[in-house]
Structure 1
Amino acid sequence: VALLDVSHYRGDLQSQEAASELEVARCGALALWSCSKSARARMAMKKAGVISLLARLLKSTYEALLIPVIGILEECASEPDYRLAIRTEGMIEDLVTHLKVSNEEVQMHCAATIFKICLMGS
């Protein structure tokens, strides 16, 4: 989970090191997205502290990283604990903000996550 924490990067990628770290984070997020389809993996991810990390990463402007991060949230929103955390960590506001980007895949995953949270309730 710690490898994914690139929330400190802001603005353009100025160095090869920053680009490399963001790519590692993107690949890690893709792997977690795949794992998040399993209830056991979602439980392990929660124990590892992924919720607060996802909240920080959701503020990113890097769409290549946002897609798997939002995909993880979409999968995890099937769990009541995650739905509560998404609400209490302020992630709904970030998801709504990302609905305004031009990337249709980001929009689709944001909408699906919000829908799942609303449909399944608390």
Structure 2
Amino acid sequence: MMEMQQTDALTISNALKDVLLRCSLPRQQCRGRSYDGASNMAGHLYGVAVHLQGEEPRAHYVHCLAHSLNLCLQECSCKCSALRDALGVTQELYNPIRASPKQLGLFNRIKNEIASSSPG
């Protein structure tokens, strides 16, 4: 994870190029890139996709499938009242846990214990 002071397309593009360079990964061998649909990432005029496409046209951009699936599932869950209500209650229960590092640590410890003792 890289902390960034700015999140404009040029700054992100330069950071990506820097990471590739540090990891000795030649940009010329890149054949695919995937980002979410935010304008600073996928914008057709000034997004990261445009900056990097100009430097390596063989590295094709594809909208992130995981992000697309997430958006689709969110839309579908809004249509089913039982699922929408269940997810709402789950979110209300989890928000105070997430807000406290101590509670989150306890929650994760219990979750891991349950997962390790569950079959499969």
Same fold (TM over 0.5): no
TM-score using structure 1 length? 0.27
Q: Which structure's residues are more often strand, by fraction? A: 2
Question: Higher RCO, 1 or 2 (CA under 8 Å, sep at least 6)?
Answer: 1
For the pair shown, the structure with the greater C-alpha radius of gyration is: 2
TM-score using structure 2 length? 0.28
Q: Which structure's residues are more often helix, by fraction? A: 1
